[in-house]
Chains A and B, each alone.
With several copies, the nearest count.
Chain A
Amino acid sequence: MIKVLLFAKLQEEAGVHEIELEGSGRTVQSVKEQLVQEYRLPSLETSMAAINEEFVKEEDIVSPGDTVAFIPPISGG
């Protein structure tokens, strides 16, 4: 099981903050593709990804038990 977290505009687009997905040995890219299919999420294209609270790239591998967060353009400070 992979836990997916969505924030800010992405969360509003999905209507949920947290999603659980199946699968192992998947890339971040493949997780994104599934999310686009199921939730559309126009803001996903410009979002960054993190696995277990560290920024990662799209080709990085997501393992079962990981938390994947999608992070739309930030605006803290």
Chain B
Amino acid sequence: MDERRFEITDQPISVEEVTRKVTRRECGAIATFIGTVRELTEGKRTLKLEYEAYKPMAVKMFAEIEREVKEKWPDAALAITHRIGVLEISDAAVVIAVSTPHRKAAYEANEYVMERIKQIVPIWKKEYWDDGTAWIGDQLEQVPYRKAVKKEGEADD
């Protein structure tokens, strides 16, 4: 548990490695999530993806998500590695590992982490298709962001 549990890397991610970071004698369950590059989205064929991150802030936001997880599941341990750069179909873009004493919490916390990554961690993907490219992003996801900002202790206006 001494090593860096939150990483942004331009190298392929080792699931074994991320999992190892959360393995502890007191845990009986490790839930791992791997986000992979899918070829088809709503019928459109992706050729490759390119991920970009605001690295230092992304790592800070991973730590912020860990604080939220510890509030909800005090016994959980968390590690996240997100890859950036050009990814091919089936490459792992993100690996999330959560360990807990019992399994229910491992699944729940892992899913929570994935949702929060999509809300507050400054990482972007660009899709490459046959007929063009686009940076993907969901404006709706600014609503949870507002909540994240308010958590910093500022008043609503």
Contact = CB atoms under 8 A, between A and B. Distances in A.
B121 interface: yes
Given A75-B124, A76-B53, A76-B94, A48 B142 contact: yes
B47 interface: no
B137 A74 contact: yes
A69 B122 contact: yes
B148 A55 contact: yes
Contacts of A53: 54, 56-57, 60
Contacts of B60: 53-54
B112 to A, nearest CB: 13
Interface stretch (A5-13, A19-27, A34-42): A5-13
Query: Which label, helix, strand, loop or mixed, suits the secondary structure of the B interface?
Result: mixed
B72 to A, nearest CB: 19
Nearest to B127: A75
A56 interface: yes
Interface residues of B, number: 36
B138 interface: yes
Contact of B145 (A5, A48, A69, A75): A48
Interface in B89-142: 93-94, 114, 117-126, 135-139, 141-142
Contacts of B119: 74
Interface in A15-64: 46, 48, 50, 53-57, 59
Interface of B: 35, 51-54, 56-58, 60, 82, 93-94, 114, 117-126, 135-139, 141-142, 145, 148-149, 152, 154, 157
